[in-house]
Structure 1
Amino acid sequence: MSGHQHQHGHGHHHGHVPAADFDWDALADHLEREAELRAPAVAAAAQWLRALPGADGAAVRRVLDVGSGPGVVAGQLADAFPEAEVVAVDQSAALLERARARSGGRLGVQQADLPAEFDKLGEADLIWSGNAIHHLGDQQAALTSLAGLLRPGGVLAVAERGLPLRYLPRDFGLGRAGFQARLDAAHEDGFSTMRAELPGATAEVEDWPAMLGRAGLVPGGTRTFLVDHPAPLARPAREHLHAQLSRLRDQLAGTLDPEDRATLEALLAEDAPTGILHRPDAFYLSATTVHTARRP
């Protein structure tokens, strides 16, 4: 379980099965860049969490980021809760080493293969899990396990879904208008297939507040935080979009019609003005939704 994918993100890596030939460093670069683009939304979410009953600074002594990836969000949680011990939790030792290095040793790290090793994580006053629960077959059981780690009064914050990324106008002069909506539809089918193939896959109506209630918690509110980088887009964001589109080509090319495949190739062209690396109309707009609940 690694929750370093942005919600509803196109072309991200699903199901981190450690393999000798998997390029973890390349993935870490991609995940870091994505998390840095989304940092303003997470910072706002962290300040909201600080204001929730049970999560005020004085009461929070230990924070877990479950599915932390390379530790960008965990570092932001450490900024928001400077009095607390903040621990990044992931199944990838390579990504946790990146988190430790990024933070200059400020973060604790804990390798855990979830859902089998929830009991390794210890108690916490605040648990953040961003786009990680959907990588576990039984999402309700995962929430119940996380709820069991909370100290009385502690808060669980689950960032899942939100709004899909938008980065070009509806009609951007290549192919048929509505290209991104068709990518969304293909991605949703792929996401459903990914979920169905997980060990212990369990169908669930993804009503997150209701699921948190069934985990024995008291829902504490849901808020959505905007990620808005307008055109003209800076080079790092363009490079990230290029990487996302490249992953998307690998994953979805077989499901796209020829016209949309040609549009995708044109966006990936590195030297052409039609490419995402050079277009003046490229932007980065998305939204992160955070659901919270408190242990009585």
Structure 2
Amino acid sequence: MGNHQHGDVDWEQLGASLTRRAEAYAPMTARIIEQLRAAQPRPRRIVDAGSGPGVIACALAEAFPDAEVVAVDGTQALLDLTARRAERAGVADRVRTHLADLPDGLADVGEADVVWLGLALHHLGDQRAALTEFARRLAPGGTLVLLEGGLPARCLPRDIGIGRPGLQARLDVAQEDRFNEMRAALPDVKDEAEDWGALLTAAGLTHAETRTHLLDLPAPASPTVRAHVADLFGRLSGGLREGLDADDAATLDRLLDPDDEAGLDHRPDVFLLAAQTVYLGRKGA
């Protein structure tokens, strides 16, 4: 997603984490693809912009058997994961990878009937200009699928029996601060009110539809969900620790300890509840 050229990132580890997240969210992704199918039943070319390890690119190829899917990302290691996944899924003949930074790198891809932009736009400094560029790459009558907003995921009850109740709500606050820091550090960043429908319109598209999809995977968690939740809390522990008090930091340590009976590996109450908002923009014929 966006520019991934950072030398200190372990892309093998991050790619595995991104894959586990996408696999946990697969039931939601399937419903978003059905939403897309109603708007664009027979796309010939789909661009997954900021494709990461290619889980969604391969799902799109499987859902639209007559379409070519182009996975675009700024990191070759993630595109290599995409190619291997496409081979295993039997769609390698219709999934191709393209190494490029967004949004300018789409110029070499050609027109697309669908541009899928899943949680990638907020990694770009000038979101308005980027959306305009993505819209320019759509064929007449094409659809832009924008995943932004929704609600923070919940994985544990408010009171988990250790530490102070309400841990995830406090993590949300710390994560918002970290998100703002991330945005402020992006190249060419511009402040923008997150009225995604209005931004689609400003990009020259018709704001065709907004829908929020629910992911409700109750306890007890499957191994896939449990692995994603462990990734999530591990990332929060590493990235937000300075903003937490000592009690919350200690609670996170216990949750991430594989030998602690109160940890995520052993808890029977782990679940995954999330809501993702999807905006569809349509280009005039």
TM-score of the superposed pair, with normalisation by structure 2:
0.95
Unaligned runs of 5+ in 2: none
- 1:219-230 paired onto structure 2 within 5 Å: 219-230=207-218
- AA aligned opposite 2:122: H
CA contact (8 A) 1:18 1:92 kept: no
Q: Distance in 1 between matches of 2:63 and 2:278?
A: 16
Aligned position for 1:37 = 24
Aligned position for 2:46 = 63
- AA aligned opposite 1:70: P
Shift in Å, 1:235: 2.3
- 1:135-174 paired onto structure 2 within 5 Å: 135-174=123-162
CA contact (8 A) 2:20 2:227 kept: no
- AA aligned opposite 2:28: A
- 1:79-158 paired onto structure 2 within 5 Å: 79-104=62-87, 105=92, 106-158=94-146
Unaligned runs of 5+ in 1: 3-14
Q: Distance in 2 between matches of 1:183 and 1:156?
A: 32
Aligned position for 1:203 = 191
TM-score of the superposed pair, with normalisation by structure 1:
0.91
CA contact (8 A) 1:235 1:277 kept: no
CA contact (8 A) 1:155 1:292 kept: yes
CA contact (8 A) 2:24 2:228 kept: no
Q: Distance in 2 between matches of 1:208 and 1:32?
A: 26
2:9 corresponds to which of 15, 19, 22: 22
- AA aligned opposite 2:55: V
RMSD: 1.2
How many pairs does the alignment contain? 279
Q: Following TM superposition, where does structure 1 have runs of at least 4 consecutive aligned residues deviating by more than 3 angstroms? A: none
Shift in Å, 1:120: 2.0
Shift in Å, 1:219: 0.5
- AA aligned opposite 1:294: R
1:233 corresponds to which of 221, 228, 232: 221
The one-character-per-residue Cα deviations of 1:27-84 (angstroms, maximum 9, x if unpaired) are 11111110000011111111111111xx122xx1110000000111111111221111
- 1:243-282 paired onto structure 2 within 5 Å: 243-282=231-270
Greater helix share, 1 or 2?
2
Shift in Å, 1:243: 2.0
Q: Distance in 2 between matches of 1:115 and 1:42?
A: 23
